[in-house]
Amino acid sequence: MTSSGPGPPNGHRATLVEVAALAGVSRSLASLVIRGAPGPSAASREAVLRAAAELGYRPDPAAKLLREHRSRVLGVVFDPGDPFHADLLEAVYPAAERCGYEVVLGARVPTHPEHRAVEGLIRSRCEGLLLVGAEADAVQLRGLGVRLPVAVIGRRGDEAGVDSVRAADPRGAAAAVDLLVDLGHRRIRHVDGGRHPGAAERRRGYRAAMRRHGLDPDVVKGDHTEESGVRAAGRLLDGAEGITAVLAGNDRCAVGVVDTLRRAGVDVPGDISVIGYDDSRLARLTHIDLTTVAQDAEQTARLAVEAVVERLDGDVDLPPRDILLNPRLVIRGTTGPASALRRT
């Protein structure tokens, strides 16, 4: 038996998910087209409207009424002292706008911890949250995810029941080690990021790559601040340890290393090469010119926004997703061949 008109047979009411699938676009993009919101291209609008007509899709009046009482605001919790977070925020705004949402920020600082920033955003009627480098533990994340859609940027979240978008950090750290080994370095130290998001994965990638090359890992405790880089550089200045290269936990730490060494008259990269992680705006400053492992801020922000919006616009039953992105090595002026005088 065949249907006598458009849409699925047997009285089935077509859903927006089906429209999106037939049009070959995301559900959030299809929702924008159906609402007549700005953002989608002419080709996307045509594809969605054609699919809607073919399926006989009609918006649910009850759902429309519910949407009219929504705030359409996303909250973002971030560290204002982290340059990479600033890069992410630049990308969050256009990504949210394309989905028909506004953005409200909640800064995480020592006098205003993450949980207070989160509660402030919820009181501001944010419908979903993006947590950049979240500090909450798994239990806290799970409880927050029950309240509203959450996407975590920079660490795994699916095990705690929320979506996450992050770089494949072990792969990124290994690429940095491979570059240094190709340049002749054998004594490569890693200044780790302590308990910061991504630090354990970068540490694991560094150790695995060093062992793969038959080298002994050398990890010193640090964190994701310039001060930790300053402290680590202080241990290198006498040259007794024979270290010729440093892989820092992030760009801020790497800049602390580079600045301290250069102020002490050490040639970077002539005497010691330094690699950071993130490819933040700090790394791209011409007087720093830092070799680093790049995370794609634009893609990371877009995918995190879309993950939250898809749940807000109806796909609440999706299993939690952990989206891994490939980092890439960006070679600049802080890496070079190992110094023969320092090699042991």
Q: Is the pLDDT of residue 5 over 80?
A: no
> Which residues are paired to 78 by β-bridges?
107
Q: Homologous superfamily of 169-295 in CATH? A: Response regulator (3.40.50.2300)
Q: Tens digits of per-residue pLDDT, 305-323?
A: 999 999 998 766 788 999 9
Q: Which residue has the higher pLDDT, 334 or 146?
A: 334
- By DSSP bridging, strand 73-78 and strand 102-107 are parallel
Q: Tens digits of per-residue pLDDT, 23-54?
A: 999 888 888 888 777 778 889 888 988 898 88
Cα three-residue angle 233-237-243, rounded to 5 degrees: 80
3-state secondary structure of 69: coil
Q: Phi then psi for 323, rounded to 5 degrees?
A: -95, 115
The region of weakest confidence among 19-28, 224-233, 274-283 is 19-28
Evaluate whether 71-167+296-326 and 169-295 have a shared fold: yes
Decide which of 1.10.260.40, 2.40.50.140, 1.10.760.10, 3.30.9.30 is the CATH code for 16-66: 1.10.260.40
Contact by Cβ (8 Å): 99, 149: no
Give the count of beta carbons closer than 10 Å to the beta carbon of residue 110. 6
In CATH terms, the fold of domain 71-167+296-326 is Rossmann fold (3.40.50)
Nearest partner of 251 among 229, 231, 222, 219, judged by Cα:
229
Q: How far apart are CA 256 and CA 228, in angstroms?
A: 7
Boundaries of every domain in the chain: 16-66, 71-167+296-326, 169-295
Provide the whole-model pTM: 0.77
